[in-house]
Homo-oligomer: A and B are copies of this chain.
Amino acid sequence: MSDLWTVTEHDFDPTRQRHKETVFTIGNGYLSTRGAFEEGYPRDHRATFIHGVFDAVPIVVTELANAPDWLPLTVYLNGERFSLDTGVIEAFTRSLDLRTGVLTRTIRWRSPGGMGASLVFERFTALADEHLAYIRCSVTPDFAGEIEFRAALYGASDNEGAAHWLRVAQGAHAIPDGPLPIAALQTRTRSSAIDWAGAVRLVATAGRRSGHGYWDADNAPTLTLRMKAVPGKVVQVEKCVAQFTSRDLAADLVRAAAVTRASEAPGWKAALTAQTRAWAAEWARTDVVIEGDEEAQIAMRFNLFQMLIAAPRHDDRVNIGAKTLSGFGYRGHAFWDTEIFMLPLFTYTAPEIARNLLNYRYHNLPAARAKARGNGVEGAQFPWESADTGEEVTPTWVPHFADRNKLVRIWTGDIEIHISADIAYAAYQYWRATGDDAWFAEKGAELILDTAKFWGSRAEWNADEERYEYRDVIGPDEYHEHVDNNAYTNRLAQWNLETAFEVLTWLRALAPDRAAALEQQLDLSEERLAHWRDVADRMHLHVGETGLIEQFDGYFRRQDVDLAAMEPRTRSAQEIFGIEGCNETQVLKQPDVLMLQYLLRDHYSDDQIRANYAYYNPRTDHTFGSSLGPSIQAIVACIMGEPDDAYEHFIRAARADLRDVRGNAGDGIHGASAAGTWQAVVFGFGGLRITPEGWTVTPRLPRHWTRLAFSFFHRGQQHRVDLRPEGA
C-alpha cells in the first residue's frame, strides 16, 4: 500500500513544469520550495518562500520575496553539463513521498557527447530542524573519466521578474572534517530590509574524489567536487544548506548562525531518520484513511501534506497565504481562506498551529483598528488581504487579464468586510474545540469583542424599514459587487455581536480583571452594549416564509440563467458574461447562503437548508467559480443526503491541484480547497458534529468507500473515528 503515500510521474513534459513544480513542492512550515530542478532552466518558476519575508512591489503592494536559491546542484559528465534540454532522456521518474516529504527524481540520460548515466536527485526540507535542507545526488556513469558536482547558493532570485534581493556579503569558512569549506551568502530585501543568510556544505559519500574547489563568484558562491567516474560505480554527494533570516535573529548574526548550523548539521542519513520520525508524528494526528478509492486516498494525503508544509509551527506572526508557500499567486497574501477553510483542520488536529494562526490576527489588531478608523468606524476591521503587518494589502487596481495595459479596480479591500466576522468565528471555534480558556481570556475574547465593536459601528439604521443594514458590500460570492445586505455578512455580523455578549458574560465570571481591562480599553460602555443588542436584534436578515434566504437585496430580481444548459463550459460565468454582466445575473461564484448555514449549522433546520440548497445549488458556477466552493458544497450535499452529488464536489476539490482542473495550479496550491477536503471528509462524509455535550458521527460515505478513518482533538483529548459501512 506504500503507493497510497506517493505522488508519482513517469514522463517529463516541459510544457507542464509550472504545474508540476507546484505539485512537487516540499516544505517544513518555515519555508517551502517548489519542485523546480536542481540544475535550473531559464523559464522555470523556481522559488523558495520563507514565512514572513515580505518586500514591497509596485501596484500590488507587497509580496513574499522568492528567497535566494538553495537548490543549485549541477552535474558535469566529462565536462558536459547535465541538462534535460540537451542530449537524450532515456528514463524519467519524479515522486514525492508524502509520508516523509522526500522528493526523488531518477533520470537516465545520455549527453550530446555520448556520456550515459543514471542520476538520482533526492531532497527534503527538514521538519526536525526547520533551518536545514538537504539534497543528495547519486550518479552511476556508463563511462570512465570524471564527474563534477557544483553546489551553489544563488542570490539573484526574483519573483517572476521582480528582484527583491541585494547582496550583502559572502565567503568561505573552513571546517575541520572535509577538504571543502562551507560557503555562505548574505543578502537583504530592498525595501523591508530583511537579511537572509545561507550556508552550504558539500560532501562526497560514495566514489573517489579527484579534485575540489570553491568559487567566490559574487552572489553565486559555489563549491565544486570532481569525482572519478568508473562505469557502473555510483558516485554520490550530499548538499546541506542552512538558512536564517533577520526575522529569526539579529541581522549581524544570521550568517554566523547559518555557517554554524551547516557545519554541525547531521549527514543525510541521520537527518532523514529525524525527518521520518518528525513526519510520523505529524501523520499520527492528521492522516485520514480512505479505503476503496485509491485516487481519493492519495489526493487526501496530498492535500493534507500541502497544508502541513505550509503551517507555521514556531512563528505566530505569520499566516498561510491563499496559495500557501507554493507559488507566486496572490503574492503570499492571506485571506478569510485561513480562518474558514484551513483553521478547522488545525483546530482539530494540530491546535498549536491553529493558535499560531489566530495569534497572527491578534498581533495585527492595531492595523485592523487603524483600518476601521480610516473608514470612519470603530473597532477592528481586518484587511481583506493581509501580509506582514496586517495592513490592507489588496491592490486597488490590477492589470486587466486580457489587456495588461488596462487596469481593473479591485473593490474587495474596500468592502468585502465579512472577514472580520470570519476571524471572530474561527477564534470562537478554536476556543470551543480546544477549551483553551487561558488563550481565550488573553487573546481570543479581544478578537471577538473588537470585531463586534466594528459591526456595531458599521451598521446603518434604516428608519423606513426599522432595521439595521450593511450596505455596499461584497459577500463571499464575488460575482456580485456593491450589494446591500448580503445575507452571509449580516447574519455573521449578528452572530459576532451576540457572541460578544456570551464572551463578556464568561469573561466577567471567570476572568473579571481581564473583563474589566477590556471593557475599559475597548470602551464597552452600557450605551455601546445596548446598541450592539439593538443591532443584533433588528438586523436585516432576508429569511422568507419557506426558509429561503435571499442572498442580498434584490438578488431574486436579477436575471435567472440556466447554467446547466450552458454545459459543457470551458470558462467561468464571469468570463462568459463579463464582470458587469455577471453581476446582473443570479449566477454565483460560490453560494453564500449555504456557506452560512454550514457555519451556523445549529441555527437552521434540515428543511430550511434543503430549501436553500434546492435554490442555490443549480445557480452556482461549480466548475469555474470559486475554488473554495466545492468542499463546502460537498458537506451540504452530505447533509442533504446526496452522497453522489457530494462526492462529485469533493473529488473536484481534491483534484484541484493534482490534476490542475482550473488551469492555474502553476500559481500555487489552492490552500482553501486543500484544507476544505479535510472538512468535506470529516464533517461531510464522516458527519462529525461537535456539540456542547460532546461529539457525534453520522457517516454518509460515498458508495464505493469501504473505510474512512480519522482522528481529531476535542478539549485536549484525541479521538479516533474508524468507519466501515456494513457489509464492507
Least Cβ distance of A154 to chain B in Å? 7
Kindly state the separation between the CA atoms of A58 and B399 in the bound complex, as whole angstroms: 8
A166 CB contacts on chain B under 8 angstroms: 42-43
Partner of A163, one of B43, B58, B158, B190: B158
Q: Does A51 contact B (CB under 8 A)?
A: no
Kindly state the separation between the CA atoms of A395 and B399 in the bound complex, as whole angstroms: 12
25 CB-based A-B contacts, threshold 8 Å: A40-B167, A42-B166, A42-B167, A42-B168, A42-B188, A58-B399, A58-B404, A59-B59, A61-B405, A74-B218, A154-B218, A156-B163, A158-B158, A161-B163, A161-B164, A162-B162, A215-B216, A215-B217, A217-B217, A217-B220, A217-B221, A218-B220, A218-B222, A396-B407, A407-B407
Q: Does A556 contact B (CB under 8 A)?
A: no
Q: Does A219 contact B (CB under 8 A)?
A: yes
Kindly state the separation between the CA atoms of A215 and B183 in the bound complex, as whole angstroms: 15
Q: Does A72 contact B (CB under 8 A)?
A: yes
A396 CB contacts on chain B under 8 angstroms: 405-407
**Copies of this chain, tallied across the complex:** 2
Q: Does A152 contact B (CB under 8 A)?
A: yes
Q: A154 near B405 (CB under 8 angstroms)?
A: no
Partner of A218, one of B57, B152, B188: B152
Q: Does A397 contact B (CB under 8 A)?
A: yes
A219 CB contacts on chain B under 8 angstroms: 154, 156, 220
Kindly state the separation between the CA atoms of A661 and B222 in the bound complex, as whole angstroms: 45
Rank and list the top 7 A-B pairs by shortest CB-CB distance, nearest first.
A217-B217, A156-B156, A42-B166, A215-B215, A158-B163, A217-B220, A163-B163
* Residue of B with least CB distance to A397: B407
Partner of A162, one of B61, B154, B161, B397: B161
Kindly state the separation between the CA atoms of A434 and B154 in the bound complex, as whole angstroms: 55
Kindly state the separation between the CA atoms of A57 and B40 in the bound complex, as whole angstroms: 24
Q: Which of A144-187 contact B (CB under 8 A)?
A: 150, 152, 154, 156, 158, 161-164, 166-168
Besides A57-B161, A156-B219, A215-B215, 17 other CB < 8 A contacts?
Answer: A42-B168, A58-B58, A58-B59, A58-B404, A59-B59, A156-B156, A158-B158, A161-B162, A161-B190, A162-B163, A215-B216, A217-B221, A219-B220, A396-B405, A396-B406, A396-B407, A397-B407
Least Cβ distance of A626 to chain B in Å? 26
Q: Which of A199-219 contact B (CB under 8 A)?
A: 215-219
* Residue of B with least CB distance to A154: B218
Q: B42 near A152 (CB under 8 angstroms)?
A: no
Kindly state the separation between the CA atoms of A163 and B164 in the bound complex, as whole angstroms: 10
A190 CB contacts on chain B under 8 angstroms: 161
Kindly state the separation between the CA atoms of A141 and B156 in the bound complex, as whole angstroms: 33
A58 CB contacts on chain B under 8 angstroms: 58-59, 399, 404
Least Cβ distance of A137 to chain B in Å? 16
Least Cβ distance of A12 to chain B in Å? 20
A163 CB contacts on chain B under 8 angstroms: 156, 158, 161-163
Kindly state the separation between the CA atoms of A354 and B681 in the bound complex, as whole angstroms: 73
The proximity string for A residues 29-47 relative to B, scoring 1 for CB distances below 8 Å and 0 otherwise, is 0000000000010110000
Kindly state the separation between the CA atoms of A40 and B190 in the bound complex, as whole angstroms: 16
A215 CB contacts on chain B under 8 angstroms: 215-217, 222
Q: B218 near A40 (CB under 8 angstroms)?
A: yes
The proximity string for A residues 400-423 relative to B, scoring 1 for CB distances below 8 Å and 0 otherwise, is 000011110000000000000000
The proximity string for A residues 46-66 relative to B, scoring 1 for CB distances below 8 Å and 0 otherwise, is 000000000001110100000
A167 CB contacts on chain B under 8 angstroms: 40, 42
Kindly state the separation between the CA atoms of A61 and B406 in the bound complex, as whole angstroms: 11
Kindly state the separation between the CA atoms of A61 and B158 in the bound complex, as whole angstroms: 19
